[in-house]
Amino acid sequence: MGSSENAIGGGRTAAVDKDVDFANYFCTYAFLFHQKEMLSDRVRMDAYYNAIFENKHHFNGKAVLDVGTGSGILAIWSAQAGARKVYAVEATKMSEHARALVKANNLEHVVEVIEGSMEDVTLPEKVDVIISEWMGYFLLRESMFDSVICARDRWLKPTGAMYPSHARMWFAPIRTGMGERKLGDYQSAMDDWYNFVDDTKTYYGVDMSVLTNPFSEEQKKYYLQTSLWNHLHPHQVIGTAAIIKDIDCLTASVSDIEEVRSKFSLSITMENTKLCGFGGWFDVHFRGRSEDPAAQEIILTTAPSIDYSTHWGQQVFLLDPPIRVSEGDNLNASFLMTRSKENHRLMEVELGYEIQQQSGKLLAPFKNKYYIE
């Protein structure tokens, strides 16, 4: 127990203890209930289904690697689209269910399920396609793309294609009632704290007031500084959305994605409203490769939508207090997302911004810290 290893071949990533990684991360994926949730996301399923079956020329007679196969769905579709051989790698005991599913769908002569982590397994050949559904909340939470990069560098032929081929992160100003609710929750927690301090002094002779600041910081972080999962309605987006990261899955390295650093400008497009925070989401594209493009380019987007929401939702970063803004106001922002030192699969965000009103007046700049947990 407890052997250390580098998550990726590059030297820059700190060693990740495999058992800690399992306790913190992988274990959720061993549950069928969780797999079913993802398999019930029709937008996700449709995108991958169409990406494969509208582009059979990429799969027919080819060798395919499915990174993090879970229940085995992408591997099974790849085989049904005519693949000669599919290697379906899964780190958890879900691999046993994947194996049963492959067999029950009469594909065990094509799909080989391998239990292990992508960093450890050995394949008998290089592959023509690497397919994977690796995206976490706001794209990079979970840092699973590291494992896809490892797979690509070890097992993709020089002529091979990545499914998806590209990924982008988006960021937009929003209005929301969540901030008011979370502020209320924080204030209730503090009201309760002060009563608790009184009682503990009165009944138990211990003065807890020295812990008021740390408690307040802890609660503020929990209620106001931790990004929230939400299904945003398109009407909540009050300005232009900016692309803050653009990834070519064929060429990106781990150091390219360890940090997301962007300077950008947004315009407010809604008259007389409140900037309550920001929404973050992503999209991925299935374009094939430039020398061998997809016949049908498919896009899977997680943007705010009425009819096409996904299990990813969007990530909401709250402003406390909200700021009055109006149509034509501009926002100049700097965004920096890095990995948490305690857990490389979680993120920290530093967001700096200043508002330039339509009149030209510049408001005082802000700088906020957030945690994606």
Site stretch for a second copy (CB under 8 A), options 139-147, 217-225, 282-290, 327-335: 217-225
Query: Is residue 2 at the binding interface for a second copy, with CB under 8 A as the rule?
Result: yes
Q: CB nearer to a second copy: give 197 or 349.
A: 197
User: Which DSSP state fits 312?
Assistant: T
Q: Are 285 and 298 in contact (CB under 8 A)?
A: yes
Query: Is residue 306 at the binding interface for a second copy, with CB under 8 A as the rule?
Result: no
Out of 210, 291, 341, 360, the only residue in the binding site for a second copy (CB under 8 A) is 210
Question: Which entry of 5, 37, 119, 142 is annotated as an active-site residue?
Answer: 142
Q: Is 96 a catalytic residue?
A: no
Query: Is residue 223 at the binding interface for a second copy, with CB under 8 A as the rule?
Result: no
Query: Is residue 11 at the binding interface for a second copy, with CB under 8 A as the rule?
Result: no
Q: Are 223 and 186 in contact (CB under 8 A)?
A: yes
State how far the alpha carbon of 42 is from the alpha carbons of 48, 80, 107, 229, 276, in Å.
10, 19, 24, 19, 30
Instruction: Please provide the size of the chain in residues.
Output: 373
Distance (Å, rounded) from C-alpha 71 to C-alpha 69?
6
Distance (Å, rounded) from C-alpha 68 to C-alpha 46?
19
Query: What is the pairing mode between strands 127-131 and 156-163?
Result: parallel
Distance (Å, rounded) from C-alpha 325 to C-alpha 23?
44
Out of 49, 264, 308, 371, the only residue in the binding site for a second copy (CB under 8 A) is 49
Find the helix packing angle between 73-80 and 94-104, rounded to 10°. Answer: 30
Out of 180, 193, 233, 323, the only residue in the binding site for a second copy (CB under 8 A) is 193
Q: Is 297 a catalytic residue?
A: no
Count of residues that bind a second copy according to CB under 8 A: 49
Query: Is residue 125 at the binding interface for a second copy, with CB under 8 A as the rule?
Result: no
Q: How far is the CB of 65 from a second copy (least distance, A)?
A: 19
Beta bridge partners of 366: 353
Distance (Å, rounded) from C-alpha 294 to C-alpha 13?
33
**57-76 residues near a second copy, rule: CB under 8 A:** 71, 73, 76
Query: Is residue 206 at the binding interface for a second copy, with CB under 8 A as the rule?
Result: yes
Query: Is residue 207 at the binding interface for a second copy, with CB under 8 A as the rule?
Result: yes
Query: What is the pairing mode between strands 330-339 and 292-301?
Result: unpaired
User: Which DSSP state fits 209?
Assistant: G
Question: Which entry of 133, 217, 271, 350 is annotated as an active-site residue?
Answer: 133
Q: How far is the CB of 203 from a second copy (least distance, A)?
A: 8
**318-347 residues near a second copy, rule: CB under 8 A:** none
Q: How far is the CB of 189 from a second copy (least distance, A)?
A: 8
Q: Are 219 and 186 in contact (CB under 8 A)?
A: yes
Site stretch for a second copy (CB under 8 A), options 99-107, 233-241, 258-266, 284-292: 99-107
Out of 10, 215, 267, 293, the only residue in the binding site for a second copy (CB under 8 A) is 215
SS3 content of the chain, % helix, strand, coil (to 5): 30, 35, 35
Query: Is residue 218 at the binding interface for a second copy, with CB under 8 A as the rule?
Result: yes
Distance (Å, rounded) from C-alpha 129 to C-alpha 65?
6
Query: Is residue 200 at the binding interface for a second copy, with CB under 8 A as the rule?
Result: yes
Beta bridge partners of 334: 263, 352
> Residues with catalytic annotation?
133, 142
Give contact residues for a second copy (rule: CB under 8 A). 1-4, 15, 17, 19-20, 22-24, 31-33, 36, 39-40, 42, 45, 49, 71, 73, 76-77, 80, 97, 100-101, 103-105, 189, 193, 196, 200, 203-211, 214-215, 218-219, 222
